[in-house]
Amino acid sequence: MQKTTGLTNLSAELSLIAEKINRGERITPEEGVLLYEKADTGVLGILATIVKKRHSGDKVFFNRNFHIEPTNICIHNCLFCSYRRRINEKDAWEYSLEDIAGIAASHASELVTEVHIVGGVHPSRDLDYYCRLIKIVKKELPKVQIKAYTAVEIDYMVRKAGLGMKEGLLKLKKAGLDSIPGGGAEIFDEELRSKIAPDKTSSEKWLSIHETAHEAGIPTNATMLYGHIENYHHRIDHLNRLRTLQDKTMGFNCFIPLKYHRSGNTMTDKPETTSVDDMRNYAISRIFLDNIPHLKAYWPMIGKPMAELSLSFGVDDLDGTIEDTTRIYSMAGSEEQNPSMKAEELIAVIHKNGLTAVERDSLYKTLKIYRKE
């Protein structure tokens, strides 16, 4: 093995794992758990950076985007959720299609390339409604790519329409859907999922929907909610299921670890993870998911300083400008209550860390490269 600075004096078992990673070999789930349990945080950063460079060199990606959250009214009862409300409950909202058109039109003069559309699973809205919503956004912003609807939302709207999943997805694609976000994955372990999201789309169904989307030519992202009642074995099991599906379809663009925030939900007794654990989780995700090209730090969730730090732990994507258009994490007590960053800020953060800033579209096509002067 070529010697790598910072990887001396490892235990024998960790040294063997480090050698595999340095050679570009896949680690096993058991080795992934061992990294969580025993690896030094600095070593994880070094190893994750090695893997990151294989995928994207010194590039760090961002885009110009905004969110539309049509409603926070939801049929589900997830214990960790601070966002969901019932009809007529305080702080509930549901935008009309006219409202949606107005939101889209308000961004027409900006250089945005993506609109991210997710929300609650509203009991009375069906597939036709959500297709119309996409068409309205496309009419207002014909050049903007639409990344919309979690697998959980899609599961409900397609079943409500009485269609097969592929038929429903193709209908959304025809309406103008370009890609699907990774939300709703939570944690795949069935026992844990039954505790924290008892009536939600199953792990098997979530994976099946993404597989069907990939077969239909719709790329997707993937997430994992961590820092609640799971352990390291549960995290690696989750990552392994994603890696296995990616081997089959190669349809995932990006993985986004999502940190549990405890404000405003029924799991407030659970302490949140430390920043050190967050960085370790980014690093191991990058190392383990050797076939998913990008790892994103969603800065509205962890805050700008921690997102910057994550660039030393395998992250190569900082999401986008957001434009203060999402409330999912601000309602859960995240560090960023009014999330918005100018493109110039994102570029400056990337350059500050000696890396090359790359503006991308929703599907990771390079739009512009900003090299540090």
pLDDT at 83: 82
SS3 321: coil
Alpha-carbon distance of 343 to 211, in angstroms, equals: 33
pLDDT at 325: 81
Alpha-carbon distance of 176 to 136, in angstroms, equals: 10
Token pair of 147, please?
A: 């990344």
Write phi, then psi, for 370 (nearest 5 degrees): -115, 105
pLDDT at 263: 79
Percent of the chain at pLDDT above 90?
Answer: 84
Integer-rounded Cα radius of gyration of the chain:
20
Q: Specify the amino acid at residue 207.
A: L
pLDDT at 326: 77
Structural domains in the chain (count): 1
Domain contains 32: no
The gap from C-alpha 261 to its chain's centroid, in whole angstroms, comes to 15
Q: How far is CA 255 from CA 76, 228, 361, in A?
A: 24, 19, 16
Residue whose structure tokens are 């409603």: 71
pLDDT at 298: 94
Average pLDDT on 311-319 reads: 98
Containing structural domain, residue 55: 46-370
Alpha-carbon distance of 214 to 309, in angstroms, equals: 32
- How large is the angle between the packed helices 275-288 and 41-56, nearest 10 degrees? 40
Domain contains 41: no
Q: What is the pLDDT of residues 270-304, one digit of tens each?
A: 889 999 999 999 999 999 999 999 999 999 889 99
Helical ranges in 269-342 per DSSP H: 275-288, 299-302, 304-309
State the DSSP H helix or E strand holding residue 220, giving kind and residue range, or none if neither. strand 220-226
pLDDT at 3: 46
Domain contains 31: no
Helix, strand, coil abundance in the chain, percent, nearest 5: 45, 15, 40
SS3 266: coil
pLDDT at 324: 78
Strands 252-259 and 220-226: parallel
Q: Specify the amino acid at residue 83.
A: Y
**Which DSSP symbol is given to 330?**
G
Domain contains 2: no
Asked if residues 219 and 173 have their Cβ atoms less than 8 Å apart, the reply is no
Domain contains 39: no
Residue whose structure tokens are 């909610």: 225
> What is the per-residue DSSP string for 92-109?
--B--HHHHHHHHHTTTT
Going by pLDDT thresholds of 50, 70 and 90, the confidence category of residue 5 is very low
Q: What is the pLDDT of residues 120-167, one digit of tens each?
A: 999 999 999 999 999 999 999 999 999 999 999 999 999 999 999 999
Alpha-carbon distance of 341 to 320, in angstroms, equals: 7
pLDDT at 2: 42
Average pLDDT on 97-113 reads: 95
The gap from C-alpha 244 to its chain's centroid, in whole angstroms, comes to 18
Q: What's the mean pLDDT when you consider all of the chain?
A: 93
Domain contains 100: yes
pLDDT at 315: 98
Asked if residues 149 and 127 have their Cβ atoms less than 8 Å apart, the reply is no
Q: How far is CA 111 from CA 115, 144, 320, 369, in A?
A: 12, 9, 12, 16
Domain contains 3: no
Residue 373 pLDDT > 90, yes or no? no
pLDDT at 231: 98
CATH assignment at residue 127: 3.20.20.70
Residue whose structure tokens are 């680690």: 27
Domain contains 331: yes
Token pair of 304, please?
A: 């700008």
189-204 burial code (b ≥16 CB/10 A, e <16): beebbeebbeebbebe
